[in-house]
């Protein structure tokens, strides 16, 4: 009888724990995922601005890299918990956004890695064509930052507008230009995905 009573109490306690979890935490990671996503995107924007719009090239870019990668890890872990949350309709658009953001980070990393390889060469500023493409990336980032509030109302980041005629402090080689072109593609895709996500009312 003691064994039976103990088994029933254990099962009953487990049942109460599950029920109380559903009752007390009905939003689960659905509530926190948009904030993690917005923070990761905002961190990439800061990384981008310090890369191309600082007065001089930032030699401590690895710090930005680690910060962004930490934010990317946080949002991915939140997404996994979100997909395991019981009930409520879910969307895979978050996964698309996460992968977009990770690829943006990798392309920025590649640009810095290439720059480190050529540090001993003569430094020159970006050419007019290169600056045009950099500015196009910035324009897409601004559009994304503007809609992050729709993704997470608590987001506080604001788009920065570089001074008129500003030129990035280093020229890009062919490999860096390829990474820059990929950045533009990822940013356009990200903007479309955020629009779809917020228009579908899947954020909250």
What residue spans define the domains of the chain? 1-26, 31-199
Whole-angstrom distance, CA of residue 117 vs CA of residue 137? 24
Which two structure tokens, joined as six digits, stand for 17? 């724990």
Residue 190: what pLDDT? 95
Is-contact 100 190, C-beta < 8 A? yes
Residue 121: what pLDDT? 54
Q: pTM for the whole thing?
A: 0.81
pLDDT digits (tens, 9 = 90+) for 4-41: 677 677 877 766 655 445 445 545 678 889 999 999 99
Whole-angstrom distance, CA of residue 81 vs CA of residue 3? 36
Contacts of residue 45, Cβ cutoff 8 Å, sequence gap at least 6: 141, 144, 145, 157, 159
Residue 51: what pLDDT? 93
Which two structure tokens, joined as six digits, stand for 58? 């930032």
The three-class DSSP label of residue 155 is coil
Q: Which residue positions in the chain have pLDDT lower than 70?
A: 4, 7, 14-28, 58-59, 87-88, 119-123, 200-204
Residue 38: what pLDDT? 93
Half-sphere exposure of 152 (CA within 13 A, CB side): 19
Whole-angstrom distance, CA of residue 73 vs CA of residue 102? 9
How far are the Cα atoms of 53, 132, 141, 175 from residue 127, in angstroms, in the given order? Answer: 14, 8, 21, 15
The candidate with the shortest Cα–Cα distance to 37, out of 95, 103, 106, 104, is: 95
Whole-angstrom distance, CA of residue 180 vs CA of residue 154? 30
In our burial notation (b when 16+ CB lie closer than 10 A, e otherwise), range 63-88 reads ebbeebbebbebbbebbeebeebeee
Residue 26: what pLDDT? 46
């Amino acid at each position: 009888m003691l064994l039976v009573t103990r088994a029933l109490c254990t099962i009953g306690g487990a049942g109460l724990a599950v029920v109380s979890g559903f009752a007390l935490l009905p939003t689960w990671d659905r509530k926190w995922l948009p904030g993690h996503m917005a923070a990761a995107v905002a961190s990439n924007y800061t990384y981008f601005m310090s890369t191309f719009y600082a007065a001089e090239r930032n030699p401590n870019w690895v710090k930005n890299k680690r910060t962004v990668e930490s934010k990317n890890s946080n949002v991915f872990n939140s997404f996994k918990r979100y997909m395991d949350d019981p009930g409520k309709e879910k969307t895979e658009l978050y996964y698309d956004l996460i992968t977009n953001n990770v690829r943006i980070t990798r392309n920025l990393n590649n640009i810095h890695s290439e720059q480190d390889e050529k540090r001993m060469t003569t430094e020159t500023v970006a050419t007019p064509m290169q600056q045009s493409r950099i500015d196009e990336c910035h324009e897409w980032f601004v559009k994304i930052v503007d809609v992050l509030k729709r993704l997470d109302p608590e987001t506080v980041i604001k788009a920065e507008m570089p001074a008129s005629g500003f030129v990035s402090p280093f020229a890009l080689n062919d490999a860096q230009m390829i990474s820059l072109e990929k950045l533009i593609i990822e940013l356009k895709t990200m903007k479309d995905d955020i629009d779809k996500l917020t228009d579908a009312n899947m954020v909250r």
